[in-house]
Homo-oligomer: A and B are copies of this chain.
Amino acid sequence: MPLSPDQRAEIEAQRANPKPTLRAVSEGMEAHLYHAHEVLDHGFVRVIDYMGDDAAIVQAARVSYGAGTKHVSNDEGLIRYLMRHWHSTPFEMCEIKLHVKLPVFVARQWIRHRTANVNEYSARYSILDREFYIPAPEQLAAQSVVNNQGRGEVLSGEEAARVLEMLKRDANTAYDHYESMLSQEGQQGLARELARMNLPANIYTQWYWKVDLHNLFHFLRLRADAHAQYEIRVYADAICKVVADWVPIAFAAFEDYRMGGATLSGKAIDCVRRMLKGDAVTQETSGMSKGEWREFMGVVDG
Contacts and interface: CB of A to CB of B under 8 A. Distances in A.
A141 B86 CA distance: 26
Contacts of A50: 23, 51
B167 A65 contact: no
B18 A14 contact: no
Contact of A84 (B108, B273, B295): B295
Contacts of A226: none
A262 B265 CA distance: 7
Contacts of A30: 20-22
Contacts of A261: 263-266, 268-269
Contacts of A184: 143
Interface in A118-168: 118-122, 124-127, 133, 135, 139-144, 148-153, 155-156, 159, 162-163, 166-167
Given A126-B65, A261-B268, A265-B257, A22 B51 contact: no
B105 A196 contact: yes
A166 B155 contact: no
A2 interface: no
A119 B89 contact: yes
Interface of A: 14-15, 17-25, 30, 33-34, 48-52, 56, 59-61, 63-69, 71, 77, 80-81, 84, 86, 89-90, 92-93, 95, 97, 99, 103-105, 108, 111-112, 114-115, 117-122, 124-127, 133, 135, 139-144, 148-153, 155-156, 159, 162-163, 166-167, 170-171, 173-174, 177, 180-182, 184, 187-194, 196-202, 206-208, 210, 212, 222, 229, 255-257, 259-269, 272-273, 275-276, 289, 291-292, 295, 299-302
